[in-house]
Amino acid sequence: VGVKPLSGPIGGEFGGGLVWINRPGQRSFEVRWAPNDTVADLKDVIRGQSELPYNNQELRCNGIPVEPDDLPLDEWLQQAGGVAAAFQGQAPDIWVFDATDEDERDAAYPPIVLPEALSEGQKAFKTVVWGLTVFAVVFVVTQALGVNPFIEKSGKIFDTQDMQFVIPEDPGVDI
């Protein structure tokens, strides 16, 4: 990819292909790849053309991330463009976004959302919710097995033995 000029047939049994690289607010350029080139090779070419650092590159094609870096471009082409595109060697356009630039992340569709660290309060809330969930699961499972340590040995959560129920003898008669 981009290291040496490639010539000869592309696509089909030969492999390799062409792809347009687009970036918001910058000039697009075409890249030709060889049969064994990967997404990482493509990112190296993009770094050389746009001076965008390798780790900051977010590649998207039709809204779907182009990843992982060790994915062969020929295999990616079959996933993104189908067999016809792979046979022709003509890939759908790839958009490159700077993952550290908020405006470029927002320009992507769907937007690129970076994971944010939880605050101390959110971590504490998460811990409490998980603790209550674990307690509830243990309570229900042990109750179902009949070995719940929180309930008396009668096995009943609410004992109705000493309660009196009034049931009318003839339900059709008004009282």
In tens, the pLDDT along 89-144 reads: 566 778 888 777 776 666 665 666 667 788 999 999 999 999 999 999 998 888 77
Instruction: Give pLDDT, residue 12.
Output: 45
Q: What is the C-alpha to C-alpha distance for residues 95 and 66, in angstroms, rounded to an integer? A: 9
E-strand stretches of the chain: 17-22, 29-33, 57-61, 64-65, 94-98
Q: Kindly indicate the confidence band of residue 15, based on its pLDDT and cuts at 50, 70 and 90.
A: low
Instruction: Give pLDDT, residue 84.
Output: 58
Prediction pTM value: 0.52
Q: What is the C-alpha to C-alpha distance for residues 93 and 111, in angstroms, rounded to an integer? A: 17
Q: How many CB atoms lie within 10 A of CB 49?
A: 16
Please provide the distance, in angstroms rounded to a whole number, between the alpha carbons at the two ends of the chain: 92
Q: Average pLDDT, stretch 68-74?
A: 83
* Range scoring the smallest mean pLDDT among 74-78, 82-86, 104-108: 82-86
Instruction: Give pLDDT, residue 21.
Output: 84
pLDDT digits 0-9 by tens, 16-65: 677 788 887 778 888 877 778 888 888 888 888 877 888 888 888 877 88
The SS3 assignment for 94 reads strand
* Range scoring the smallest mean pLDDT among 17-21, 82-86, 151-155, 157-161: 82-86
Instruction: Give pLDDT, residue 133.
Output: 97
